[in-house]
Structure 1
Amino acid sequence: MSATDVIPPIPPNIDAIAGPLLIGHLLNWCLFGALTVQVCMYYLSFPHDRPFSKYFVMTVYLWEAAQTFMLTDSAFDAFARGYGNLNHLDKIGTIWFTVPIMSGVVAFAGQSFYAYRIHILSQSKIIAALILLLATVQLAGSIACGTQSKKAKRHSQFLGRDAYITTGIWTGGSAVCDLIIAICMTFSLSRRSTGMRRTSVLLKRIILLTIETGTVTAVIAILTFILSILPGRPNYYLAPVGILGKLYANSIMAVFNGRIKTGDDTIHHSSTGDHASGSMVRPPRPGQNAYEMGVGVSVTKEQVSFPPTSGWVKGEDNVDGKFRGI
């Protein structure tokens, strides 16, 4: 009988060992449910978005679905097949790939998405290049972290000096990138006010959404690193690290769905070829002869565009002459 076949006794602090891992799996499933709802809302609300946007959304969703199903298998192995066996609970298994590497990839996709939008809004290649550089750094850190955890094979043997460095590069680079994105997006959007009430309200909504999503992802990334360097090397970091990927995926969908208008207004889309206007149009009420145009913000092409106050024609250049209505 090998040493790995010997079942160690259950320690008194079993809740601190198994609890974070279980909470991480439960939160991952919760956020996957939220992501599923957001994806359904997107396809129902914006059927005429560009094919690239639809493919991007579906790719992110399938990637996260694969992560959830693989993590579920890991949870089943730890809490069902290996019930009562701490060797199964301590085994990393496929988590080396499903958590750091898969989360790093979806974070890179989301941060690159924001880099493109910031480039369009600010017309600054330097800021976009900086964001892409930080996104690449955190992706490299996540791959290195996954490689180290695969070699360790067990959670108890993973944390150490090298793991602290790679985890810091991964989570620290991600947090810095998210904060820069939130600041740049807020500054760029705040400069695009047209003086119209509906535009201002929608801009404030998008700015608030950007700050919230960027702050949440940055805080969770920093929290993961802090919990990983606690004295005694507890497993507390397993709870937040399991949801990083889902947070980024939900942040991406929140940006796409930020165009949804609630209340009495109805979103209609007029298309030219593969393009959709993305503007908000209120249907004519009885006795009216013309449509009442709502001032919307289109991010179908990861750009923010504003229809002119009058005489707007689909596909025509919008009010600032720089961005074309999509």
Structure 2
Amino acid sequence: MDDPTSILAAFDPTNTLGSLLIGGFIAVFLFGLSTVQTYLYYREYPKDHRPLKFMVAFVWICELAHTICITDSIYVAVITFYGQPEKLVKLPPALNLTVAFGAPVTAAVQMFYTDRIRRFIGRRIYIPISLWFLSGIRMIGSYVLVVVSFKIPSVTEYVADWGWMFTLLFTMGAFVDVAIAIALVANLYTHRKHVFSPTLKVLDRLIWWTIQTGLVTSIIAVAVVICFQTMKSNLIWITIYTCLGKVYSNSFMAVLNARNSFRNDEAIYEVNVPTGMLFANNSASSDTAQGHEMGLDRLEDTDIGSVSLHSKSIERRVA
């Protein structure tokens, strides 16, 4: 058990309560963004398939519970335990529960992207299976840490006894994010060789967007691990962690809401950040003009949330 006298002497409100407050503010802001995106999704895509709608609702509900736990933790730490830093030896129960609600969001988003990989990976099914397995292990491990956090009497003992597992799980999550980004970019780059110039610009933008999404979540996960390993005596690592699940949910919703974002007079693009692709070609000709239509069509129930890309160009007959 930690000595209260030593706790009072070492207590730094800037790196504990201050960092917790900052993390809470950022998390609430990000939850607001995801709420707006969720509303826009249901308004703009009422005909999406039910499983995808249920998944969006599940992610938002988990994020709501996650946000409630964060705000409750801040209230307990700042108001209820005001002037009693020795009470912060053990983290508020609600703060432990943030892991329970954040883990399924991370797993759901990673598995969603992995399913997109499965649709174009061909016979190399071991790749998505491996990513699904790692995502599942990370979620199960997160629940183990939640149970342990309620039983261990202090943060110090928690870090000393279970810090290795915390580090392993977040490193695993970063690896899965990078692997997903690489696979999706590789798929886009392959299709890049077989499209026309207008569509090429869209694919280039999608490639850059996919890289950014994978890098952001990976960098945040690595930052949590670095802060956890180098600053175990404060709560800065928790500050960063509280924002990680929000980044996943916002990136997921941005993907779904981006499908109708590219439009102009000569080409119509309905774009979803790369989640599996299927090209279709149709052509027709006449005495005066030749039409060439190439589309990445919206698939049926079996391909929930797939990309939709449609471009249409007309080539005039050369005399």
Which band: TM-score by shorter chain? 0.7 to 0.9
1:131 Cα deviation from its structure 2 partner: 0.8
Aligned to 1:181: 180
Alpha-carbon spacing, 1:258–1:158, altered in 2? closer, same or farther (3 Å): same
Alpha-carbon spacing, 1:50–1:28, altered in 2? closer, same or farther (3 Å): same
Q: Quick check: 1:10–1:86 contact (8 Å CA) kept in 2?
A: no
2: distance between equivalents of 1:298 and 1:242?
27
Identity %: 27
Aligned to 2:56: 57
Q: Quick check: 1:78–1:89 contact (8 Å CA) kept in 2?
A: yes
Alpha-carbon spacing, 1:232–1:213, altered in 2? closer, same or farther (3 Å): closer
1:13 Cα deviation from its structure 2 partner: 2.5
Aligned to 2:68: 69
Q: Quick check: 1:297–1:304 contact (8 Å CA) kept in 2?
A: no
Q: Normalising to structure 1: TM-score of the pair?
A: 0.78
1: distance between equivalents of 2:158 and 2:18?
18
1: distance between equivalents of 2:281 and 2:41?
25
Alpha-carbon spacing, 1:54–1:231, altered in 2? closer, same or farther (3 Å): closer
Query: Which digits, 9 at most, give the CA deviation of each residue in 1:46-99, with x for residues without a partner?
Result: 222112111111110111111101221111111122222214444423246433
Residues 1:304 and 2:277 are matched in the alignment: yes
Q: Normalising to structure 2: TM-score of the pair?
A: 0.79
Look up the equivalent residue of 1:200 and give its one-letter code. L
1:237 match: secondary structure: helix
Look up the equivalent residue of 2:62 and give its one-letter code. W
Q: Quick check: 1:79–1:89 contact (8 Å CA) kept in 2?
A: no
Aligned to 2:290: none
Q: Quick check: 2:96–2:146 contact (8 Å CA) kept in 1?
A: yes
Aligned to 1:294: 268
Q: How does 1:56-205 map to 2 (within 5 A)?
A: 56-95=55-94, 97-123=96-122, 124-160=124-160, 162-193=161-192, 194-205=194-205
Aligned to 2:307: none
Look up the equivalent residue of 1:130 and give its one-letter code. S
| Unaligned ranges ≥5, structure 2 | 285-292, 301-319
Alpha-carbon spacing, 1:232–1:241, altered in 2? closer, same or farther (3 Å): closer
Look up the equivalent residue of 2:268 and give its one-letter code. G
1:20 Cα deviation from its structure 2 partner: 2.0
Look up the equivalent residue of 1:120 and give its one-letter code. R
Aligned to 2:227: 227
2: distance between equivalents of 1:27 and 1:293?
38
Look up the equivalent residue of 1:29 and give its one-letter code. V
2: distance between equivalents of 1:167 and 1:34?
28
2: distance between equivalents of 1:182 and 1:95?
33
Look up the equivalent residue of 2:242 and give its one-letter code. G
RMSD: 3.1
Alpha-carbon spacing, 1:108–1:230, altered in 2? closer, same or farther (3 Å): same
1:114 Cα deviation from its structure 2 partner: 0.9
Structure holding more strand per residue: 2
1: distance between equivalents of 2:163 and 2:50?
41
Q: Quick check: 1:27–1:243 contact (8 Å CA) kept in 2?
A: yes
1:306 Cα deviation from its structure 2 partner: 4.4
Look up the equivalent residue of 1:65 and give its one-letter code. L
Look up the equivalent residue of 2:216 and give its one-letter code. V
1: distance between equivalents of 2:247 and 2:272?
23
Look up the equivalent residue of 2:152 and give its one-letter code. A
1: distance between equivalents of 2:242 and 2:228?
13
| Unaligned ranges ≥5, structure 1 | 266-281, 283-291, 312-317
Q: How many pairs align?
A: 289
2: distance between equivalents of 1:42 and 1:232?
40
